[in-house]
Structure 1
Amino acid sequence: MSLLGGIRPPIAVLSALLLALAGITAIGLGGTNDERLPEAVLTSQQHFAEDGAIALRASLDESVTDLERAAGLFNAAAPVSADTVLDKISSVYQKWRGTAVVEIASGKLLAARGENLPLTAIDRAKLSEEGGLAPRMVRLQNGETRLLSFALLSWEGKPQQLLVASSSLRFPGISLGDFRAIAVVESTGTILSSDGIPEPEQVLTDLQREEVARSNKQLKAFAETAAAKAATHPLKTKEFGSGGFRGVSGSMIGDEFQGDLAAAGYATLTAPEPGGTTYATSLGLTVVAMVNVAEGTARATDPIFGIAAAGALLVIGALAVTLLLGVVQRPLLRLFLESRRLNRGDLRRPVTVPRFGEAARIGHALERLRQQMLGAPAGDGAAPEGPSPAGGRLRRIGIRGLLIVCAVLLAAWSVPLGLVLNRADATAVVPQQLVNDQRERTDTLTDRVRRALNEGHADLVSVASLIGDRTTAEDMTTVLERTAAEHLRYRSLYVLSPDGEVLARAGEEPQHPAGRGPGDDAITVLDDKAKEPTVVGYAEVPGRRGAALVGEFRIDFLNSLLRRPGLGQVRVVDDKKRVIAGNTGYLAFEKLPSERLDVLVDSSNVKVGMSPRPGGVLYRDGGEVQMAAAAPFVGGGAAKPLGWTVVSWQPVNGLAIPEYRMQNRTTLAGILGLTAAAACLGWLHIVVVRPLRELARQAEALADGDRRTVLYPRHHDEVGAVTRSLELIRQALQEQQRRDGANQVGRN
């Protein structure tokens, strides 16, 4: 018989699935896997470290490339003094702690600005080698670490000079909030820089000194562990298909101190493109973010619930399987044996007729056929004792009714689990740390967007100073095309005259209104009625009587800055709370989806002290719980006057919080129960019930005298075997009918 057909496989598979589901339910809903911290808190720390790694990598790479671009602009112009080079760089960029110009041949220091640089650490003899100008880390006498970046200044007829700039390894614009520390760790586990832990001399009490000492010790332990884990391949540290951060990242749990548990996330500096490398990623640095969280081991439900649910499933499943075995499988197997007995010619004893459904109808038909084979007229034959097959009761009940009863039994267990039990409502406990992290990460993202716009405007100022009073459009176009190729943040670059005429351009068609001169703001939005926001930056070109270099930012560039996992939906809104950019689909200049988000934006823009402060809130509306945060632009730069605010929000039911995890597991158990019942009972209906109903009709027709209809088996199973036996009985009766007819003719 067929492995997939017949009555046995569906019932056996259903039994196995229900037994496995009972075990899964007992373990998943009643296990004793108490967590010291919710998984959502640890995942949030991992995302926080990833944000820090992205910000640090972008800052270091931008620092190196800006120095190289500045040197390239100077090399393309007429020679200037070393002091002029440093003065112009300092007026445009305020990112380097120290800059210097050194004559390569003699090693003479030509000019310097800011902190003293460790120039003795530079091997000038290796600058001409491949990779000789690559950035490198050096340690100062005070123990701090600096990243030195290099670029060549070359003019015809003058000795080559080396432009040097130093950057710290501290995080640009990372919002730490309270009780958090963040550190940069090298591959050996040594902490190169850290923020968030006060210096010992800044504390006042013995308890504070103990806390600082404990934090430093814990951070060092986390740093050593993170450095060891950073050597792992990224694909081995994440679940398959998880996506998100492309580097190595994860979370850790540390020691407990006065009811607080240390939790940390770590992330390596990774290139934005898969498989790529940058200046910063070649340094082998890892970011570690640590925070103290109140420890709690409260469970979302009683462990007895899982055991009780599994026991109930075993009882219901046993009842359903028993019904299928007793009312479907055994009668069908008995019919198979009885039909084969009649086919062999054993007609001495009556057919054992089942009690219910199609099996009873076929049994009655077999008994009538047995009597007909003994000589009774076609269509005749005494029915055995019991209800008549023509009665409506047996025909109405049938095996389909039994399957419905089994489905109702299994649904009585599955539906409450899927829709009723263990529902996490508005009283679900959401750790305050998650709300804090939502606020601080949104604030960090705000600073990242602001710095990106400021960097873009600084590049425009640098290019505008190079263009100066060039007389030909070809020269300006050459500079603009080279800048557009180096800076992918611009969709279009062009020089605009005071009367609105485009003197030279590179990139896509300008969106600036015809006949309109440069705006007064350094960065602005051109048109609030367009399908796509056009964000432009203006930089006056020296010596051109009011002409300005205009750079139109790609809106996709801003959107890409907002795509961070674990923040939900993110929007950048202007001072009128209209959407400018977002990490998911949106309409330009649309309003935020709810009034409470508008209120959050307004409250975050209220000045507390000297500047606005980011805000985070947990909304509870019936059974829906949502976290939201808003952070306005603060700090200096050309982007500050925009008055933009970054808003993020997400429902908490998607986070790994105990109540919601238990709800998801309970729902999953109910769905699995319904799936197992639908699959196995549907399988049984297709391969057994439908063919059996058709066979009952054919058997009754054969017993009523239909000798011409050939019976074909649909499957090679029990129903098919009974069908083949009935076909042989039909042939035997047909032959018997021919013999009786021949004898009657002979007698006549």
Structure 2
Amino acid sequence: MSLTSTAGRARHPGDDRDQIARWRLISLEKQLPQPRMLTAIGTPALVASLLLTLLAIFAFAYLSQGDTAGVPKAVVESQREFVHEISRSLNNSVGRSRDELSRTVEAYNARPDNVTAQLAALTKDQPKWRGVGVYTNDGRTGVAAVGRPVALPAGVPPGRAAVPLVDGNAPRLLLVEPLADNKLLLAELDLGIRTLRLDPRSKQAVLVVVPTGARALSQGAPVPADPKLDALIKEAVDGTARRATVTRTGTAAAPPAGSGSAGPVAPLVTADAVGSLGFSVVSLVYTPVTDASATREPLVAALALLVAAVAVLLILQYGLARPVRRLLLHAKAVASGNSPGEPPRTPNAQVNRIAAALSALAARQDPGSSARRDPAPGGTPAGLVVVLAVLAVLGAAGGVLTTLTQAERDLPGQVTRDTENQTGAVAAAIGDTLDGGYQKLVLVGRDNGKGDTAQVRRALDRLVDENNRFRSAYLLSADGSVVASVGREPLRPSGLVPGEGGVVLHDVQGRLPIIYAYHPLSDGRSLVAEFDVRYLTRLLQRVDGRVRVLDVDQRDILDSGGYLAFAQITTPAVVTASARALTGRTYAAVTDVDGVRSLLVAAPIAVDGTAAQLEWSVVAERPVTDFALPGNQLHHGALLVVVVTVGVGLLLFSWHYFFQLRPLRNLEREAVALAGGDTSRVVSPRWHDEIGAVAVCLEVCRQAAVHGEQRLGGAARIRPTEGMPTMIMTKVPERRRGGASRRRGD
């Protein structure tokens, strides 16, 4: 638009009120805040509806995942953890055996003439060694041997090696160690797996498979001759070259005899490589498969969310967004001096009151105007409109909650057995750690018991450096005082050690259990090594859930979660499980623990050895809802959707409350006060949206009430002079350059 002076007009410009009103409206609109993408009055409703629609799609897809058929994921996961634990235990056992063999190599290199005694010391009370011998460099001619004859297989180079072998059902590992005099130390090690509790109904078998493809049945039911099953085992073993643990599932078929299963079962093969030793541990089970079942829960959840999305959009569009937009049109008409007409009747109470106040201001500006103030505009409060929209969202969350099926109350037998074996492995690991620590301390005392303090200190320093299980080690004098100490500051107070050696718990008081091994020396001194509680606690974390070590009086000694040391355990189910485990047998049951359906497994720390005198048990507790079963997955998925839906509702309410409801209520108070004659307070826009634009219009009306009609439109304008009226002219479009050139050419 442009301004121009037009002469020859007989009419005074002030008489053309329509022209002035149009100019005021144009000027006003140029000064009003323009809403951006995220600040418009209808944006929150649009965003919330879009989020609910996307959530409906996600809910339908996510909740439908539990409808697939096959082996339950919980069984697959438990088998993977079961096999991995066996593999890790076997790898650690081989590592300890190689350390023993390395010490024998050192002893031989120091005194080759004492080889017979050295081999006898290695194999004494250790049936795991099938045969040990010193051979010539070709591995064929023996110099000295103990146990069964050992020979270096053809094709194996004479160097340090570990060769897995299978002889019938007796898997073994041939360890080769070169000696200083160009001879070889050969030792055959039994790859024995600790006794496992296998489920006879699932026909479970644990195998050891070597790279040649030969396999040995370690424990469990015999594996039937079946080419498809052989191919499945080979595929799983080959996969361990790329991944640590591999699972393969066969085709479902009729259950084998004696399985006790009424429906079809599928062979599940899980393999895990044992370190870098070149062989794998394989578990084979026949597990029932679940049928794919179409459920109504995903569809009901999606429909509830879609209905909520539409309801939110309609409620906020007709209850808030459209009324505010109509109010803005009315406010611009009043602030520009145009005839506003009747104030808009909307469902929103705040909008109606502001519109009535603006009409009252218009009536004061133009007494002849037909606009009037409605004393009772009515309408629904804006806050209630927003609350209704939020209730629609929460109603959708309630609709999803109604689809929740009860979580699983029981577990497949295979999962229970696998957890039972894992808990037993943790108990055995703690027992081996304590008993093995004591044995290492005994070796230090045997080799350095008659040495001076400096020699014993050096030996203890090597002991702590080579064993993470110890936090400190020290030498006590005959009166119980510390003579030499290595590692961290001892926690055990000075004093005499009890008895003749072993592993003990110092006391049942304090913030930390003090567990130590001790060994008296022949001269009255004693060696003490304190175990690292954090190292022992990390062993408990090999089993999922909460795992505790309890003593015979049901006190909490170690715990995988936060706990108070020596706290008395009073939960009846846990106390029963621990007491049953102290009888020497593993306990497993699915029961209620403090009102939560859980799998409870307990195993004794040690039945014999030095750690048995502690009378400790490991108790593992895990809620049934933590297992990946179809019912649990649907339950958790619905809860996830409910939480996200409630989050959308909170976002919707917060967005409206802070950015729209509060500014609208403030604007209502300002408008009512201004209509009542209070022109002392400036009306400032809080946000750059439609409500802010109404606030600017209200401020223009306030200025017009104070300074006169010339303030309408929001800014000072060029005033016409006598004979030169101000008019609004239509903008003349620019001519094209081509046309102008042609005219100039003419």
* TM-score when normalising by structure 2: 0.79
Read off the aligned partner of 2:372 and give its amino acid letter.
A
Where does the alignment leave 5 or more consecutive residues of structure 1 unmatched?
128-132, 200-210, 233-247, 270-280, 607-611, 741-748
Q: Structure 1 residues 540 and 307 mapped into 2: Cα distance closer, same or farther (>3 Å)?
A: same
1:96 counterpart residue number: 129
Deviation of 1:92 after TM superposition, in Å, equals 6.6
Structure whose CA Rg is larger:
2
* Counterparts of 1:92 and 1:540, CA distance in 2: 23
1:609 counterpart residue number: none
Deviates more, 1:447-456 or 1:217-226: 217-226
**1:453 touches 1:639 (CA, 8 Å); kept in 2?**
yes
* 1:584-622 Cα distance to aligned partner (Å, 9 max, x none): 33343333351222222333344xxxxx33120111369
Deviation of 1:177 after TM superposition, in Å, equals 4.7
Read off the aligned partner of 1:383 and give its amino acid letter.
R
Give the 5 Å matches for 1:88-127.
88-91=121-124, 93-102=126-135, 109-119=142-152, 127=159
Deviates more, 1:613-622 or 1:1-10: 613-622
Deviation of 1:334 after TM superposition, in Å, equals 1.5
SS in 1 for 2:507: coil
**1:182 touches 1:196 (CA, 8 Å); kept in 2?**
yes
* Counterparts of 1:557 and 1:583, CA distance in 2: 11
Give the 5 Å matches for 1:299-448.
303-347=295-339, 349-375=341-367, 382-383=372-373, 388-389=376-377, 394=379, 397-415=380-398, 417-418=400-401, 422=404, 424=406, 428-448=409-429
1:12 counterpart residue number: 46
Q: Structure 1 residues 621 and 644 mapped into 2: Cα distance closer, same or farther (>3 Å)?
A: closer
SS in 2 for 1:101: strand
Equivalent position to 2:277, from 277, 283, 297: 283
* Counterparts of 2:440 and 2:154, CA distance in 1: 30
Q: Structure 1 residues 68 and 495 mapped into 2: Cα distance closer, same or farther (>3 Å)?
A: farther
1:195 counterpart residue number: 218
Deviation of 1:61 after TM superposition, in Å, equals 1.7
* 1:306-351 Cα distance to aligned partner (Å, 9 max, x none): 3234323333442332121112111111122232334444327444
**2:474 touches 2:485 (CA, 8 Å); kept in 1?**
yes
Where does the alignment leave 5 or more consecutive residues of structure 2 unmatched?
1-34, 256-263, 713-746
1:225 counterpart residue number: 236
Read off the aligned partner of 2:459 and give its amino acid letter.
V
2:175 counterpart residue number: 149
Deviates more, 1:1-10 or 1:532-541: 532-541
**1:654 touches 1:660 (CA, 8 Å); kept in 2?**
yes
**2:410 touches 2:624 (CA, 8 Å); kept in 1?**
no
* Counterparts of 1:166 and 1:338, CA distance in 2: 97
* 1:529-550 Cα distance to aligned partner (Å, 9 max, x none): 4543333334565xx3676644
* Counterparts of 1:336 and 1:435, CA distance in 2: 68
* Counterparts of 2:457 and 2:711, CA distance in 1: 108
Equivalent position to 1:696, from 639, 644, 668: 668
**1:31 touches 1:303 (CA, 8 Å); kept in 2?**
no
2:224 counterpart residue number: 212
Q: Structure 1 residues 511 and 31 mapped into 2: Cα distance closer, same or farther (>3 Å)?
A: closer
SS in 1 for 2:38: coil
Deviation of 1:81 after TM superposition, in Å, equals 0.6
Read off the aligned partner of 1:399 and give its amino acid letter.
A
1:241 counterpart residue number: none
Equivalent position to 2:205, from 150, 161, 181: 181
* Counterparts of 2:445 and 2:125, CA distance in 1: 11
1:726 counterpart residue number: 698
Equivalent position to 1:519, from 499, 511, 521: 499
- Is it true that 1:581 corresponds to 2:570 in the alignment? no
Pairs aligned (count): 667
Deviates more, 1:461-470 or 1:50-59: 461-470
1:292 counterpart residue number: 286
Deviation of 1:82 after TM superposition, in Å, equals 0.3
Equivalent position to 1:165, from 184, 187, 212: 187
Deviation of 1:22 after TM superposition, in Å, equals 2.5
* 1:241-261 Cα distance to aligned partner (Å, 9 max, x none): xxxxxxx33544323341323
* Counterparts of 1:71 and 1:540, CA distance in 2: 29
Deviation of 1:651 after TM superposition, in Å, equals 1.3
2:74 counterpart residue number: 40
* 1:550-588 Cα distance to aligned partner (Å, 9 max, x none): 43332333222221142x122223344433333233343
**2:208 touches 2:217 (CA, 8 Å); kept in 1?**
yes
Q: Structure 1 residues 92 and 21 mapped into 2: Cα distance closer, same or farther (>3 Å)?
A: same
Read off the aligned partner of 1:136 and give its amino acid letter.
A
Q: Structure 1 residues 651 and 191 mapped into 2: Cα distance closer, same or farther (>3 Å)?
A: farther
* Counterparts of 2:454 and 2:239, CA distance in 1: 54
1:683 counterpart residue number: 655
SS in 2 for 1:581: strand
1:480 counterpart residue number: 460
Read off the aligned partner of 2:132 and give its amino acid letter.
T
SS in 1 for 2:566: coil
* 1:200-233 Cα distance to aligned partner (Å, 9 max, x none): xxxxxxxxxxx6235x85365144235326415x
Read off the aligned partner of 2:282 and give its amino acid letter.
V
**2:177 touches 2:186 (CA, 8 Å); kept in 1?**
yes
1:275 counterpart residue number: none
Q: Structure 1 residues 80 and 34 mapped into 2: Cα distance closer, same or farther (>3 Å)?
A: same
* Counterparts of 1:503 and 1:108, CA distance in 2: 51
**1:169 touches 1:192 (CA, 8 Å); kept in 2?**
no
Equivalent position to 2:267, from 249, 254, 262: 262
Equivalent position to 1:136, from 142, 149, 162: 162
Q: Structure 1 residues 364 and 148 mapped into 2: Cα distance closer, same or farther (>3 Å)?
A: same
2:25 counterpart residue number: none
Read off the aligned partner of 2:529 and give its amino acid letter.
G
**1:260 touches 1:292 (CA, 8 Å); kept in 2?**
yes
Deviation of 1:73 after TM superposition, in Å, equals 6.1
**1:484 touches 1:492 (CA, 8 Å); kept in 2?**
yes
1:552 counterpart residue number: 530
SS in 1 for 2:91: helix
- Is it true that 1:709 corresponds to 2:703 in the alignment? no
Deviation of 1:12 after TM superposition, in Å, equals 0.8
**1:43 touches 1:251 (CA, 8 Å); kept in 2?**
no
* 1:655-675 Cα distance to aligned partner (Å, 9 max, x none): 222222222222222222221
1:466 counterpart residue number: 447
Deviates more, 1:135-144 or 1:447-456: 135-144
* Counterparts of 2:363 and 2:142, CA distance in 1: 121
**1:180 touches 1:291 (CA, 8 Å); kept in 2?**
yes
Give the 5 Å matches for 1:552-701.
552-566=530-544, 568-606=545-583, 612-620=584-592, 624-633=596-605, 637-701=609-673
Deviation of 1:627 after TM superposition, in Å, equals 0.8
Q: Structure 1 residues 712 and 100 mapped into 2: Cα distance closer, same or farther (>3 Å)?
A: same
Deviation of 1:198 after TM superposition, in Å, equals 4.3
